[in-house]
Structure 1
Amino acid sequence: MTDVIQQRRAMGHALLAATFLSGLAAPAFAQNAQPATGGSDADIVVTALKRDTRLQETPIAISAVSAQTIANSGVQNIADLRSQVPSLSFVDGGPSNRRVVIRGIQATGEPTVGVYYDETPVTGTVGASNDAGGSTPELRLFDVERVEALRGPQGTLYGSGSMGGTLRIIYKKPSYELGADFDGSLSGTQHGGANQEMNGMINVPIVDQKVALRAVGFFKRNSGYIDNTWLRVKDINAEESYGGRVMLRIQPVEQWTIDAAAYYNKSTTDTPTWLLESGKYKTDSRTRQVVRDEVKLYSLTSNYDFGPVIATGVVSYMERNLVSQSDTSRFIQGTNTLAGYNARCFTATGAPNGCTDQFLNPITSFKQYQAFVAGQSTSSLYPQQDLNALTAELRLSSASKGPIHWTVGGFYSRRRTNVANPQLNVNPLNGYVIPTEVDTIRFIYDQLKQVAAFGELSWDLTSRLNITGGVRYFKYTKNVVGHTDVPSILVGARLTPPTYLSSSEDGTVVKANASYKITPDIMFYAEAAQGFRPGGVNQVLGLAQSLTPYRSDSLWNYEAGFKTSWLNHKLIVNLDAFRIDWTNMQVTQRTPNGAFSYIGNAAAARVQGVEFETSIQPVHGLSINGNATYMTAKLTEDQLAANLATASSGRAGDRIPYVPKFTAGVGAQYTWPLFGEVNGLVRGDFSHSSGYYSDFRPSYVYTRYINGYELVNTRIGIEKPNDWGAYIFVNNLFDVLAISRASSSAIGVGLTSVTSARPRTIGLNLRKTF
């Protein structure tokens, strides 16, 4: 019944949004409108197959978002792309804490979606919970050429992090013409304050047709809109970020291009989570929950055209420092009971078990125990994660026009992460940590090495029929060292000397694809492909063992689809259906006290769905793009055997957390001439997500149901194409409370912590091209 209500509600909002968008465009139909300033995104040339192909002729499920769409729809980071791409969603914990999800392949651990900035794959930090996929680096999406979203496993060409799909951000490269762009915005947020944003680019030719430099810089300051009632701090989640990138292109000869790039991104905020029990956009956290994220990325890409063969070499190096603080005060205070004393300081038979404080001084009375707990009653986890990652790839691709196309290559990556994970006392007056007052601390060193060899062959058997096959051999090695230097009986942290564990695995993943052009504008394709990601080792307080391994997981994806073009390419309609069988899936499980999560392997799951995309240009100047996805994502077997199952363990038929059954997005833009070369522009974007659960078991005490939501963004302005533009925009037009993430645990004593979309924001955007 809940799903029916949600779907009816979604249909009502969709009709409202469609009426609104039509109303925006309708006044302009009487004008002598000119063609839109940009063509359909379906005409984009993509490089997803490691060679140039037109989007509609690429026989896989792929979406591309153009630079114009990114700019006009207000996209600033990868999380803003969710309304533009079918099956793309995020488990959104706020800046620096987002998990990218495609086709419902959502799980803790290593990423399930490969994220690439140009040719460089990036990943999050493993942290104390080994969840590298939950903190994807988000570089600024300004001066972007396009974004490519490949749906379904891309293991043969893109490796282990792409079992659900791949997201590729392609930046504009240096050119041999002097130029510059400026984009700035001033806005205000409901329930918050003023926001500022500035982006700039300058392109400088240094040696004509040989050397050019392109530099981009940005600065953003967003007001907060969440009030901390305990610390009496308004708008506590104010955010500031800045950074940029520098790209140098060197072309010694016409056939050889070398691109060197350096990226920098730094952001600071308090976590944008709030408590439902405290009221809308309010929290009573006892501590500041600071998030600081600094990313440095360097890459070098070389392309040499030998004629029949193109050689590409890529090497990159990333450094990341991430701090993501969380309040533990409620959990610690909850242990200050006689029951808590008996559970921690006596065995099941009532005999003393020798419990001590963090300095190993014996605790021999309830009064002494109470004083010990009171000394930590305002405290916070303060993990400091330092990552460095080296990746390299060398590949050769055929450059002929056919009938055979091929790519072969090798890949290497080495990621190292050092984690210091202390629980620190906090100044109760201002909520900031006291670095010298350590309640407990553990250290983790984590290293993941991967090597691979891959190849893909595509053969045009006829002018209409193509078959493609691919294979990738992989091997990974995971090394983990952990030690706890300051113990804590309150959270179950034992004094542990350095302990080492290693795991490794090798194998292959394969892909088979066939496509047939029924007509020049209608293509059918079918594909079967494998996906995989590495296993690892848990480092969780409260487990029976300090190091507990978990296995890799893998899947098979089967899909078929049509790509069609009508009315002289003015109407594009694409449709596909898929089924994914997922085995040994890595899932979040909890320690018996409910305080900490760790990774285990569930039995199996199945995801089935249908994806739809369309774009239409019914009249000059008007373009409409839409997408929709319906899918079911469920366990097909119990996570654990009955004798091992806990209250949180999923059962066959339970839905995969954070995966909506139905999502949809619609964008409409209309431009018309005003005077001279100046055009008017009006745009609206609508997105819908149905509801989902935060955990597998709906009846689990810490599971929360997250209602579906709809969001509408609008923009209206005037512009002189390729020169300047001025626009008024409204994001979250109806000021909808759109909760994207909810969680609960024993640390919060069962309270519900949520993350939601930014409230209504109204602003002015100015652009200038020099």
Structure 2
Amino acid sequence: MKSVDHRHLRRAILLAGAAAVLVGAPAAAQDAAATAAQETEAYDGNVIIVSATKRDTTIQDVPFSINAQTQEDIQRSGAVTLEDLSRNVAGLTIQNLGPGQSQVSVRGISAGQVVRDQPGVKEQVGVYLDESVISLSLFTPDIDLFDLNRVETLRGPQGTLFGSGSVGGTIRYITNQPTLGVSEGQVEANINLIDGGNMGGHLKGAINVPLGDNAAIRAVGYYTRYAGFIDAQGPGGGENVNDGERYGGRLALTFAPTDTLSITPRVIYQKIKANGFNRQEIFNLFANRFTTTRPAVQLGEREQYLLLPERFEDETFIADLTVNIGVGEHELTSVTSYINRDILVSRDASALTGSVSVDLEFPDAAVLLPSNLRDTTDLQTFTQELRFASDYDGPFQWLIGAFYSDVKRDYRQRLPTPGYDAFTDATLGAGTSAAVANGFPANSPFNSDLPFDIEQFAVFGEASYEITDSLTFTAGGRYYDFEETRTITTGGLFANGDAGVVDRTASNGVTPRFLLSYKASDNVTVNAQAAQGFRLGGVNDPLNTPLCNATDLALFGGFQDYGDEKLWNYELGVKTQGSGFTFNAAAFYNDISNLQVTLDAGSCSSRIVFNVPEAFAAGVEAEIGFEPSPGLNFNLSGSYVKSEFNSTLPGALATATGIRDGNRLPSVPEFQFSASTSYEWDMGDSATAFVNGSVQHVGSRYTQPSDQENNPRTFVHGLPFGGAPATAATTVDLLLPDYQLVNLSAGVELDSGLSFTAYVNNLFDENPLLSFDRERGGRARLGYNIGQPRTFGITARQTF
């Protein structure tokens, strides 16, 4: 009872503080002209203004490694997703698992592939929309990049100012804010064609309208049609089955009645719908080269097999309120956020269910029943942050704050398989299906309800002191206190029959950061950092024991919960700039303790997370930009990362999991490189033409740690169905090959604000293998998530 009262007290304190900010302060903190300069003029020659330290400063003056892709960078590159941008950012890796389902890692800090049915796993990279945290492990919203001021990538742990989930780094989407006294807007239209796929395109618009002298409103709306490129054989298939759409908008109002008060409420709505997934299959229980009583099938490039159509939906609503108040020579900021998300992942699980039916010796008619796995997530998140900071000239600067979050996440799985109960009772005995249902609907062999309640409270602070005109020392820390309660209820033939089992986990701790910045000259700064980051632990779901063979049950049955992941980052960097030239580089070493690793539990059709005692990630990264002559620009960025385990699990666990001293951390390339060039020139007095070209190299990766063991791997399917022998097997090299993407674009910009850009992405039609996909240890399905083929497009944009 005391702990409950304690949590309510925390909430009351922060809510009272937020109310005081709104109703008790007589003056404002955000100067309108400064806001306009920050948000609409972020790029001025080589000067980019960022707020990575929760203060406005140039990117060259931030005392740690950071990248910022500006609105102009986004538009010129034709990027429409964070994955597109990541190829130009050293050390940033995106694992594409479909719209709204990408995984982010920075500097090689990765636990491997997280999939839809691991709702308790926390993110390793925090993602923010302006001041509001929006990251949610696998399902971080795929925000539209239109009318963004910039996208900041903060490398290394950011736990002091940005909290849990920023153990590897932080991504910040910074939108253009309402601008006082300015009427402006833009409209953008696009049409594109995927080679071998269908047509896509988008229509987007933004407008800023002043409301008198002290207020302004900014509205953004967009609609995107995703072209598909995956063909599916089978009764649930068709052409271009992974097409879809995204639509939504943002509406923000800034009210600044005085020079020292600014209030900005905002609402955001977005919905993503995809009709399938970017999965290329090489084996499916119903479509493979081994069957003799069914037609043998050899699936080709960008093909899969479906008994049922698939679907993904993500509906997101965000409401936030940011208040800035000037209090003398200080600034008080309140950020209140509410997020409501409804997510549906609807998959064709016929091969999965059918593989279990084969093991249970059900008749072929039962094996062939269409089976639909439906994962739904209902998420509600409330966060409140208060911070107070110095706002004066002087050698000593400081910031203190408090943060509270309450996350309620209801996760459910259903496996509707019409007609399945009759086969269950006929094979295993009358009444079997009813006996294992545990109150769930009939003809659904697996069901689960997992409500989560996650509450977190933190206080943080950071201070810097200019020891000399050239030397500045910064120190900060964050105290966090976290509690998670999860209840699990399951039912059906494949489930354990858990009945309202409650699991709780809690942790607290302090994460410090120390920075030393030395300005060697006006154009050269050397930075050193030691910082700790953390990632909250959690509780594993029970194994689906009815599906496990004895070996897998013995190996994986003992992993119930997992603790906090922590790391120490040691970093030395240099930032240089000159006339038309910038060079930023850093070397780093991350010492990781209790790395949370996720993997498939073999035949159990379950996934678990456990802690690896020791691991590390070390490397170098560099970004160079230079303009050798007017209009000609070159940009290079690259990173080399060596990330490995320093621990070996005992006995058979090492082989089963890949947790072995010297094995690589999963999903991260050792080497990633991009180079781009652009040239622009005047066409008469009223137009400018430009051409851009880029090449990106992404090195080889493993999807899961275990993929390094016994590789190339032979998956013995062991499913004598359709005349296939029990010894049928498929051999796969699980080292995902490196790939190169070449993009070209050209266009013209008129002084009237009208511009046209034509482009081709993935010029040589590379088929990048992004991650390896398997079900039931390869007994049901094997395949890859793949990237987009060659795409042609044209974009028209009008600003006013």
After alignment, is 225-234 or 610-619 more displaced?
A: 225-234
Distance change (3 Å), C-alpha of 1:695 and 1:748: same
Equivalence for 2:107 = 103
Give the match for residue 299 of structure 1: 320
1:157 to 157, 161, 171: 161
Aligned-residue offset at 1:628: 0.5
TM-score by length of 2: 0.82
What is the CA–CA distance in structure 1 between the aligned matches of 2:767 and 2:521, rounded to whole Å?
A: 46
> In 1, are the aligned partners of 2:192 and 2:201 still within 8 Å (CA)?
yes
Alpha carbons 1:330, 1:747 under 8 Å: kept: no
1:526 to 525, 528, 534: 528
Percent identity of equivalent pairs: 31
Segment of structure 1 superposing worse, 743-752 or 136-145: 743-752
Q: Which residue of 2 aligns with 1:346?
A: none
Which of 334, 343, 350 lines up with 2:355 in the alignment?
Answer: 334
1:33 counterpart residue number: none
What is the CA deviation profile of residues 238-294 of structure 1, one whole-angstrom value per residue up to 9, with x for unaligned ones? 111111110111112111111111111101111121214521110013322211111
Pairing partner for 1:284 from 302, 305, 316: 305
CA deviation map 1:355-382 (0-9, x unaligned): xxxxxxxxxxx6xx548x8177421311
One of 458, 471, 477 as aligned partner of 1:452: 458
User: Which residue, 469, 472, 476 being the options, matches 2:475?
Assistant: 469
What secondary structure, in the 3-state scheme, does the structure 1 residue paired with 2:165 have? helix
User: Structure 1 residue 604 and structure 2 residue 614: aligned?
Assistant: yes
CA distance in 1: counterparts of 2:744 and 2:102, whole angstroms:
25
Matches within 5 A, 1:402-417: 402-417=394-409
Selected match of 1:671 from 680, 694, 700: 680
TM alignment of 1:55-204, pairs within 5 A:
55-107=59-111, 108=114, 109-124=121-136, 133-175=137-179, 176-204=181-209
Q: Distance in 2 between matches of 1:632 and 1:325?
A: 37
Aligned to 2:779: 749
Deviation for aligned residue 1:541: 3.7
Are the equivalent residues in 2 in contact too, given 1:378–1:427 (CA < 8 A)?
A: no
CA deviations on 1:373-410 (whole Å, 9 max, x unpaired) are: 81774213111111011111000111112211111000
SS in 2 for 1:192: coil
**Structure 1 SS opposite 2:309:** coil
Shift of 1:745: 3.3
4+ runs of 1 displaced by more than 3 Å?
A: 37-42, 543-547, 643-646, 700-703
Q: Deviations over 1:603-642 (max 9, x none)?
A: 211101000111101111122221100011100111x322
Assess if the C-alpha contact under 8 Å between 1:100 and 1:136 holds in 2.
no
Q: Which amino acid aligns with 1:552?
A: D
Instruction: Sort the Cα spacing of 1:39 and 1:218 in 2 relative to 1 into closer, same or farther, 3 A.
Output: closer
Q: 2:224 aligns with which of 206, 220, 226?
A: 220
Asked whether the 8 Å contact 1:540–1:597 carries over to 2, the reply is: no
Q: CA deviation at 1:693?
A: 1.1
**1:575 CA drift (Å):** 1.4
Cα separation, 1, equivalents of 2:172 and 2:447:
38
Which residue identity lines up with residue 642 of structure 1 in the other structure? Answer: G
Q: Name the residue aligned to 1:714.
A: 744
Q: Does the aligned pair in 1 maintain the 2:355–2:780 contact within 8 Å?
A: no
Q: Are residues 547 and 575 of structure 1, via their aligned partners in 2, closer, same or farther at CA, if it must alter by over 3 Å?
A: closer
Tell me the residue number matched to 1:734: 764
Q: Which one of 514, 530, 533 corresponds to residue 512 of structure 1? A: 514
Q: Does the Cα contact within 8 Å between 1:408 and 1:454 map onto a contact in 2?
A: yes
Partner Cα separation in structure 1 for residue 216 and residue 165 of structure 2:
33
Preserved CA contact (<8 Å) 1:615 1:626: yes
Q: 1:427 to 1:226 in 2, by over 3 A?
A: farther
1:426 offset after TM fit, Å? 6.8
Alignment of 1:253-332 (within 5 A): 253-269=258-274, 270-277=276-283, 278-332=299-353
Q: Within 5 A, what are the aligned runs for 1:543-558?
A: 548-558=560-570
Residue 589 of structure 2 aligns with an amino acid whose one-letter code is R
| CA RMSD, 1 decimal | 2.2
Judge conservation of contact 1:589–1:649 (CA < 8 Å) in 2. no
Q: Which of 780, 786, 790 matches 1:760?
A: 790
**In 2, Cα distance between the equivalents of 1:42 and 1:744?**
46
SS at match of 2:83: helix
Please give the secondary structure, in 2, of the residue aligned with 1:496: coil
Q: TM-score, normalised by structure 1?
A: 0.86
Give the match's secondary structure for 1:705. coil
Once the two structures are TM-superposed, the CA of residue 675 in structure 1 deviates from its matched residue by: 1.4
Q: State whether residues 128 and 135 of structure 2, in contact with CA within 8 Å, keep that contact through their aligned partners in structure 1.
A: no
Partner Cα distance (1:135, 1:389) in 2 = 14
Q: Give the structure 1 partner of residue 594 of structure 2.
A: 584
Give SS of 1:86's match. coil
Contact 1:146 1:171 in 2 (8 A): yes
Q: Label 1:313 to 1:291 Cα distance change in 2 as closer, same or farther (>3 A).
A: same
Given that 1:83 and 1:686 are in contact with CA atoms closer than 8 Å, whether structure 2 keeps it comes out as no
- Counterparts of 1:762 and 1:200 in 2: how far apart (Å)? 22
Secondary structure of the residue aligned to 1:60 is coil
C-alpha distance in 2, partners of 1:250/1:335? 60
Q: How much does 1:66 deviate?
A: 0.9
**Deviation of residue 40 (structure 1)?**
6.9
Contact conserved, 1:695 with 1:704, CA < 8 A, in 2? no
Corresponding position of 2:118: none
The residue type paired with residue 354 of structure 2 is Q
Q: 2:386 — aligned with what? A: 394
User: Per the alignment, in what secondary structure is the counterpart of residue 417 of structure 2?
Assistant: strand
Shift of residue 307 of structure 1?
A: 3.6
Greater mean alpha carbon deviation, residues 689-698 or residues 164-173: 689-698
Alpha-carbon distance in structure 2 between the residues aligned to 1:427 and 1:695: 36
Residue from 555, 563, 571 that aligns with 1:559:
571
Moved more, 412-421 or 274-283: 274-283
Of 728, 735, 738 in structure 2, the residue corresponding to residue 705 of structure 1 is 735
Amino acid at match of 1:172: N
Name the CA distance, whole Å, in 1 between partners of 2:695 and 2:566. Answer: 34
The alpha-carbon distance between structure 1 residues 617 and 721, as it changes in their structure 2 partners (threshold 3 A), is farther
1:418 and 1:332 map into 2 onto residues whose CA distance is: 24
Give aligned pairs, total.
684
Deviations 1:490-528 (A, max 9, x none): x3x122210111111111000011011111111111100
Deviates more, 1:328-337 or 1:314-323: 328-337
- Within a 5 Å distance, the mapping from 1:478-497 to structure 2 comes to 478-484=484-490, 486-488=491-493, 491=494, 493-497=495-499
Distance 1:290 1:721 in 2: 44
Q: CA deviation at 1:440?
A: 2.2
Equivalent residue number for residue 55 of structure 2: 51
